[in-house]
Structure 1
Amino acid sequence: MESQRSFLIIGLALVSFLLWQQWHDEYGPQPTQPTEAQQTSQVSQGVPSFDDKQTQDVPTGDSVPNAVPMQQSANANRIIEVKTDTLDLRIDLLGGDVITADLLKFPVVQGSDEPYSLLRSGKNLYVAQSGLTGPQGPDGSAQGRPVYSAQNNRYEMDGDTLIVPLTWKNDQGLSVTKTFTFVKGRYDVNVSYTVDNQTGATANVQQYAQLKQIIDAEDDGNMFMPTYRGAAYSTEEDRYTKYSFDDIGDDDLKESTKAGWVGMLEHYFVSAWVPDQTAENTLYSRNLANQFAVIGVLPPADTIAPGETKTISTTLYMGPKDQDELAKIARGLDLTVDYGILWWISQTLFSLLTFLHSLVNNWGVAIILITVVVKGAMYWLTKKQYESMARMRNLAPKMQQLKDRFGDDRQKMSQAMMELYRKEKVNPMGGCLPLLLQMPIFLALYWVLMESVELRHADFVLWITDLSVKDPYFVLPILTGLSMYLLQKLQPTTITDPMQQKIMQFMPVAMSVFFLWFPAGLVLYWLVSNVITLVQAKMIYASMEKRGISSK
Structure 2
Amino acid sequence: MNDNGGMQKRMLIMTLVVFAFFIAYEFLVLKPQQEEKAKQQEIAKEQKQNSAPDVTSVSNAPVAQSQDDMNKSIQALSSKAIGSSNILTTIKTNRNIIEIDRLGRVAQVTLLEAKYKDEDGNQIKLFEADQLRPLEVRFANTNINDEAFKVSYETTATNVDATKEAQKFTLVQKLSDITLTKNFTVYPNGHYDLDISTDKKEQYFITNGFRPNVLADMYADHGLYLKLNDGTMELTSDEDLDKVKSYTGIKFVSNFDRYYATVIYNFDNSLQVSLMPDNNNNPQGFVHVTEKISFSGYMGPKHFNDLKALHPELTDVIEYGWFTFIAKPMFTLLQFIQSYVGNWGWTIVILTILIKLVLYPLSYKGMVSMNKLKELAPKMKEIQEKYKNDKQKQSMHMMELYKKHNANPMGGCLPLILQIPVFFAIYRVLLNAIELKGAEWIFWVHDLAEMDPYFVLPILMGASMWLQQKITPNTMQDEMQKKIFQMLPIIFTFFFLWFPAGLTLYWFVNNVFTIAQQYYINQMFEKKRAAKK
**TM class, shorter-length:** 0.7 to 0.9
CA deviation string 1:51-104 (max 9, x = no partner): xxxxxxxxxxxxxxxxxxxxxx9771652211111120111232x111111121
Please list the CA deviations of residues 446-485 of structure 1 after superposition, one character each: whole Å capped at 9, or x if unmatched.
1111111101111111110001111111111111111112
Counterpart of 1:480 in structure 2 is 461
| Amino acid paired to 1:316 | G
Answer whether contact 1:337 1:451 (CA < 8 A) is retained.
Answer: yes
Please point out which of 166, 182, 186 is paired with 1:182: 186
Match of 2:70 in 1: none
Q: Report the alpha carbon displacement of residue 350 of structure 1 after superposing the two structures with TM.
A: 0.6
Contact 1:265 1:271 in 2 (8 A): yes
Letter in 1 for 2:172: T
Q: Is the 8 A contact 2:126 2:214 kept in 1?
A: no
* 1:101 matched to 2:74: no
Instruction: Tell me, yes or no, if structure 1 residue 85 matches structure 2 residue 94.
Output: yes
Are 1:162 and 2:162 matched, yes or no? no
Q: What is the CA distance between 1:314 and its match in structure 2? A: 1.5
Report whether the alignment pairs 1:191 with 2:199: no
Q: Is the 8 A contact 2:365 2:412 kept in 1?
A: yes
Q: Decide whether aligned partners of structure 1 residues 405 and 368 sit closer, same or farther in structure 2, where only a CA change above 3 A counts.
A: same
Residue in 2 aligned with 1:55?
none
Between the aligned partners of 1:110 and 1:298, the Cα distance in structure 2 is 35
1:295 corresponds in structure 2 to 285
1:438: how far off?
1.5
Do residues 271 (structure 1) and 270 (structure 2) align?
Answer: no
Alignment partner of 2:436 out of 455, 458, 467: 455
Give 2:366's match in structure 1, choosing from 376, 382, 385: 385
The 3 A distance-change label for structure 1 pair 404 and 2 is closer
Letter in 2 for 1:361: G
Cα distance in 1 for residues equivalent to 2:23 and 2:161: 53
1:521 aligns to what SS in structure 2? helix
SS at match of 2:192: strand
Match of 1:251 among 243, 268, 272: 243
Residue of structure 2 aligned with 1:230, choices 223, 226, 241: 223
**Equivalent residue in structure 2 for 1:210, among 207, 211, 217:** 207
Whether the 8 Å CA contact 2:249–2:271 is kept in 1: the answer is yes
1:285 and 2:276 correspond: yes
**In 1, Cα distance between the equivalents of 2:507 and 2:247?**
44
Counterparts of residues 2-401 of structure 1 (less than 5 Å): 4=8, 7=12, 17=24, 18-19=26-27, 24=32, 32-33=40-41, 35=44, 76=85, 79-94=88-103, 96-105=104-113, 107-109=115-117, 114-122=122-130, 125-131=131-137, 133=139, 142=147, 144=149, 146-169=151-174, 176-185=180-189, 187-193=190-196, 197=199, 203-206=200-203, 208-213=205-210, 220-221=215-216, 226-236=219-229, 239-248=232-241, 250-253=242-245, 255-275=246-266, 277-279=268-270, 281-287=272-278, 289-290=279-280, 294-299=284-289, 301-302=290-291, 312-326=293-307, 333-401=314-382
Q: Would you say the 8 A contact 1:132–1:208 is kept in 2? A: yes
Structure 2 counterpart of 1:67: none
The AA in structure 1 aligned to 2:205 is Y
Question: Whole-Å Cα distance in 1 between the matches of residues 32 and 149 of structure 2?
Answer: 42
CA–CA distance in structure 2, aligned partners of residues 268 and 477 of structure 1? 23
| Counterpart residue identity of residue 122, structure 2 | E
> Comparing both structures, which one devotes a greater share of its residues to helix?
2
Aligned 8 A contact 2:7 2:410 in 1: no
Q: Offset of 1:335 from its aligned partner?
A: 3.4
Which secondary structure does the structure 2 equivalent of 1:212 belong to?
coil
How far apart are residue 489 of structure 1 and its match?
A: 1.5
- Secondary structure of residue in 1 paired with 2:253: strand
Aligned residue runs from structure 1 range 532-547, under 5 A: 532-547=513-528
Match of 2:423 among 418, 433, 442: 442
C-alpha deviation, 1:495, in angstroms = 2.7
Q: Tell me, yes or no, if the aligned pair for 1:132 and 1:205 is still in contact at 8 Å.
A: no
CA distance, structure 1, for counterparts of residue 499 and residue 388 of structure 2: 49
- Structure-1 separation of matches of 2:23 and 2:259: 29
How many angstroms apart in 2 are the aligned matches of 1:550 and 1:522?
42
Residue number in structure 2 paired with 1:57: none
Structure 1 residues 345-388: Cα deviation after superposition (integer angstroms, max 9, x where no partner):
11111111111111111000000000011011111111111111
Letter in 2 for 1:298: H
One-letter amino acid of the counterpart of residue 127, structure 2:
L
Offset, 1:532? 0.8
After superposition, the CA RMSD in angstroms is 3.7
CA distance in structure 2 between the aligned counterparts of 1:285 and 1:101, rounded to whole angstroms: 24
Task: Give distance in 2, aligned partners of 1:346 and 1:518.
Answer: 19
Report if aligned partners of 1:239, 1:332 keep a CA contact under 8 Å in 2.
Answer: no
Which one is further off, 257-266 or 360-369? 257-266
Report the equivalent of 2:397.
416
Matched positions, count: 490
Question: 3-state SS of the aligned residue for 2:440?
Answer: coil
Q: Tell me which amino acid in the other structure corresponds to 1:191.
A: L
Which letter does structure 2 place at the counterpart of 1:337? I
Q: Return closer, same or farther for 1:29/1:158 CA change in 2, 3 Å cut-off.
A: closer
Can you list the C-alpha shifts for 1:291-333, whole angstroms capped at 9, x where unaligned? Answer: 986322214x24xxxxxxxx63122220111335546767864
Instruction: Confirm or deny: 8 A CA contact 2:254 2:262 kept in the other structure.
Output: yes
| Cα distance in 1 between the residues matched to 2:529 and 2:375 | 12
Change (3 A) 1:21 1:449: same
The alignment's TM-score, normalised by the length of structure 1, stands at: 0.77
Contact 1:357-1:366 at 8 Å conserved across structures: yes
Q: CA deviation at 1:400?
A: 3.4
5+ long unaligned stretches in structure 1: 40-72, 198-202, 303-310
Which structure 2 residue ranges, 5 or more long, are not aligned? 49-81
Matched letter for residue 165 of structure 1: T
- Alpha-carbon distance, 1:130 to partner: 3.9
Seen in structure 2, the aligned counterparts of structure 1 residues 550 and 170 have a Cα distance that, compared at 3 Å, is: farther
Kindly state the Cα deviation for residue 106 of structure 1 after the two structures are TM-superposed.
5.7
- State how far apart, in whole Å, the 2-side matches of 1:540 and 1:178 are: 68
Amino acid at match of 1:118: L
TM-score by length of 2: 0.80
Q: CA deviation at 1:127?
A: 1.7
Evaluate the alpha carbon distance shift between residue 29 and residue 342 of structure 1 in structure 2; reply closer, same or farther with a 3 A threshold.
closer
Contact 1:131 1:139 in 2 (8 A): no
C-alpha separation in 2, matches of 1:351 and 1:546: 42
Query: Deviation of residue 394 (structure 1)?
Result: 2.0
How far apart are the structure 1 equivalents of 2:133 and 2:153?
A: 18
What's 1:58 paired with?
A: none
Structure 1 equivalent of residue 61 of structure 2: none
The within-5 A match list for 1:481-500 is 481-500=462-481
Question: How far has the Cα of 1:219 moved from its partner?
Answer: 6.6
Alignment correspondent of 2:59: none
Counterpart secondary structure, 1:495: coil
Provide the C-alpha distance between the structure 1 equivalents of 2:282 and 2:45, rounded to a whole number of angstroms: 13
Match for 2:248: what amino acid? T
